Amino acid sequence: MRELPVKEIEQVVRDLCIDANRRLPTDVCRAVSKAEHAEKNKVARSILTDMQNNVQAAKDLQLPICQDTGMAVVFIRLGQEVHLVGGLLEEAVNRGVSRGYTEGLLRCSVVADPLSRVNTGDNTPAVLHLSLVEGNTVEITVAPKGFGSENMSRVFMLTPAATKQTIIDKVVETVKSAGSNPCPPMVLGVGIGGDFELCTLLAKKALCRSLEVSHPDPYYAALEQELLEAVNALDIGPQGFGGNTTALRVAVETYPTHIAGLPLAINVGCHVTRHATKIL
């Protein structure tokens, strides 16, 4: 049994909050660069160039890539052979988020109550997803989620009569309705199966998968490509100015479901779909 002070988790969460907001994952950077070279629309191509310049400027100047530094979504895969000591895990995570956003001079966007709307002042509490896994390590991923894209996300409780084409139509409908609001080109996380809340979690997790990794099942890998082509045919383009790059990637995650339903969730990510990971 390995003992791990929660103070170490606090420090890692703090650092990841800052890093994720200042540095775009390399796979996303490569996807934007690839899209620029493939883009046929001149205006769209120039916007993709500007996006890459913005990412480089944020890195060089140690500033956030986007002014919306997001609500901190934290995924922790906790090895069952790890004994956490020195306090509670959730409190350590929130202290880390608080320090990351205040010490990193990131915009604090969380309100303590959804109706009274009073800002907490340090971007806490985080949204924490904890999984117990084998081993004696702790994997921590921080995914700051801006709400320009989050607000465009959808969930559908379909019937078992729904087909693959139904899913494609719902994803296309979601993107078409979103238009330029989520700052395209988008990254789309699609959750299929589970129940009401699990399918949305699957969609969120899908946004943290490398854009260069397809679903391991060839059927769903082909569906990801089909969805991407259908979305890019909409001609929304970068920032809504038209073009063949409405989305950079569509990632699908699935889970077994009930015989009476087919849950579907689409979590929309913007062109700065941010996340950073460290293993302790």
Query: pLDDT tens digits, residue range 172-185?
Result: 999 999 999 999 99
Q: What is the mean pLDDT of the chain?
A: 97
Residue 104 falls inside a structural domain: yes
Q: What is the pTM of this model?
A: 0.96
pLDDT of residue 161: 97
- The pLDDT score that the predictor gives to residue 277 is 98
153 and 216 share one domain: yes
pLDDT at 206: 98
Domain boundary among 118, 145, 172: 145
Residue 37 lies in a domain: no
Beta-bridge partners for 150: none
Q: Which residue has the tokens 């200042």?
A: 22
Residues with Cβ within 8 Å of 127's Cβ and at least 6 positions away in sequence, in order, are 71, 72, 73, 74
* In a shared domain, residues 137 and 169: no
Distance in angstroms (rounded) separating the CA atoms of residues 63 and 240: 25
CA atoms within 13 A on the CB side of 249: 27
pLDDT score recorded for residue 120: 98
Residue 7 domain boundaries: 2-21+65-145
Q: Are residues 222 and 197 in the same domain?
A: yes
Mark whether 121 and 189 lie in a shared domain: no
Q: What is the pLDDT of residue 47?
A: 97
188 and 115 assigned to the same domain: no
Same domain, 262 and 156: yes
Last residue of a domain, one of 99, 117, 145: 145
Do 180 and 258 share a structural domain?
yes
In a shared domain, residues 103 and 199? no
Q: Give the model confidence (pLDDT) of 108-128 as tens digits.
A: 999 999 999 999 999 999 999
Assigned domain for 31 exists: no
* C-alpha dist (Å) from residue 221 to 41, 74, 187, 250: 27, 26, 15, 10
Structural element, H or E, at residue 42: helix 42-61
| DSSP state for residue 111 in the 8-state scheme | B
- Bridge partners (DSSP) of residue 82 are 2
The per-residue pLDDT for 280 is 98
Total number of domains in the chain: 2
